[in-house]
Structures are given as C-alpha cells and as structure tokens.
C-alpha cells in the first residue's frame, strides 16, 4: 500500500527517489558541473571519451571539467584509460555503481528533466 503522503506528492508531480541514490548524489553531484558529468554517464553508461570531447559535449571549460573527471576517477566513479597520448574517461564497470547509475537514468527519464539553458543534448555521446 502506498502511503497517502506519497500519493499526494506523486499526484503533485513529485517523483520518489531512493535513499541510496539521494546519498550518492548529495556526495557527488554538489555542483552543476558534477551533475552534468553524472547525468551524461547515467544516460550513456557505455561512453568513453576524452576531457576535451566531454567539455565540448557538456559546454564546459576544459580545465574545470578535466579536474572534476580526475577527482571522479580518484573516487572510483569513473575509470581513466590511456590510449597512446590520449586520456579517456568512462563509467567504472562496478556492478553496484552501474545499478545506481541505472536508477539515476530511470529517475531522469521519469522526471523528464528539462534541459538546462546553454547545454546541448546530454543523451548522445560524442564520437571517439
């Protein structure tokens, strides 16, 4: 049985989010840049790209994005690969993280997230 408050919130357009996902986002999506990176990889879990290509895709400055990608790699959210002279980032292939990002993807799609001003479509990765 659904709690009456939950029904009221859902009828008002609110979407229930699970606690684990909420905690993850409160730790790792504290800035718009972090949110954009996590959103991109939630919508494109197989994507692998360079900081330069991701900065272009997200409409962000390279230096800030590159620092954030490195931090997320150190935290174990992203994997950092070297391919010759290129450094490529992608979502870490950990089962628990992949399930969490899948829940984020479903939440984003359910919420029909409005596009942020000045941002391109984050649902399609750039070619690498």
* Residue 89 forms part of a structural domain: yes
* Residue 120 forms part of a structural domain: no
pLDDT band at 17 (very low <50, low <70, confident <90, very high): low
Q: What is the DSSP string of 42-64?
A: HH-TT-EEEHHHHHHHHT--HHH
Q: Which of 95, 109, 118, 96 is nearest to 44 (CA)?
A: 109
Dist. CA 21–CA 15, nearest whole Å:
13
Contacts with 20 (C-beta within 8 Å, 6 or more apart), sequence order: 100, 103
Position 110 scores a pLDDT of: 80
pLDDT at 53 over 70: yes
Report the CATH number at residue 33: 1.10.10.10
* Residue 79 forms part of a structural domain: yes
Name the residue range of residue 30's domain: 17-110
Task: Name the domain count of the chain.
Answer: 1
* Residue 123 forms part of a structural domain: no
Dist. CA 73–CA 88, nearest whole Å:
11
pLDDT in tens, 66-98: 999 999 999 999 999 998 999 999 999 999 999
* Residue 128 forms part of a structural domain: no
pLDDT at 1 over 90: no
Q: The dihedral of CA 119, 58, 92, 38: what is its sign?
A: negative
pLDDT band at 114 (very low <50, low <70, confident <90, very high): low
* Residue 85 forms part of a structural domain: yes
pLDDT in tens, 95-109: 999 999 999 998 888
* Residue 122 forms part of a structural domain: no
Tell me the mean pLDDT in the region 1-16. 60
Paired residues of 48 in beta bridges: 90
Position 115 scores a pLDDT of: 52
* Residue 80 forms part of a structural domain: yes
pLDDT in tens, 23-39: 888 898 899 999 999 99
Decide the pairing of beta strands 48-50 and 78-83.
Answer: unpaired
CB 72 within 8 A of CB 112: no
């Amino acid at each position: 049985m659904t709690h009456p408050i939950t029904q009221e919130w859902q009828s008002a357009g609110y979407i229930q989010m699970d606690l684990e996902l909420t905690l993850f986002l409160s730790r790792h999506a504290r800035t718009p840049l972090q949110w954009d990176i996590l959103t991109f990889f939630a919508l494109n879990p197989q994507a692998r790209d360079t900081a330069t290509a991701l900065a272009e895709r997200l409409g962000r400055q390279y230096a800030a994005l590159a620092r954030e990608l490195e931090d997320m790699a150190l935290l174990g959210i992203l994997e950092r690969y070297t391919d010759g002279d290129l450094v490529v980032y992608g979502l870490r292939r950990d089962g628990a993280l992949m399930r969490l990002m899948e829940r984020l993807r479903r939440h984003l799609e359910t919420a029909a997230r409005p596009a942020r001003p000045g941002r391109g479509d984050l649902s399609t990765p750039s070619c690498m």
